[in-house]
Amino acid sequence: MKLIVNTAKFITQIMHKWNAADNVNIKIFKFEDVFGPEQLAFLKDIFSHCRVSLPDADIQYLVDQYSFQKISGRRAGTEDQKHHYRKGVSGDWKNYFSEEHKQRFKLEAGDLLIGLGYEKNLNW
């Protein structure tokens, strides 16, 4: 709760500006894109956006080195509650929010979750 109260408002304000910016230099990407099933294509897109030219083999090497399994030592879906990469499953954070956490997060950043496509409305 302390993290939500102390940082969500600040981070939300910044992310709203990025999300609303009509600027080709700003590219918003999600954590689950970086580690998701289309990781290779996503990283190619990021490097292209940043005008960094890397051979496909080098990007594949990065995918191999920075997969969820490689950095956590577990397959996605295998949980370790004490690890920074708890489960490797998008949306798992909801399992750790109490009703009080949900209401506060909705107040501080609920519209951002909708704007970024994580949620369709505040009924989560």
- Report pTM: 0.66
**pLDDT by position in tens, the chain (length 124):** 888 888 877 788 888 888 788 888 888 888 888 888 888 999 999 999 999 999 999 999 999 888 888 888 888 888 888 877 788 777 788 888 899 999 998 988 888 888 888 889 999 8
**Cα–Cα distance list, 122 to 10, 108, 110, 117 (Å):** 20, 12, 6, 12
In whole angstroms, what is the distance from residue 73 CA to residue 44 CA? 24
Comparing CA positions, the residue from 31, 30, 35 lying closest to residue 69 is: 35
41 contacts 33 by C-beta, under 8 angstroms:
no
In whole angstroms, what is the distance from residue 108 CA to residue 3 CA? 11
47 contacts 59 by C-beta, under 8 angstroms:
yes
Which tokens hold the place of 14? 């910044």
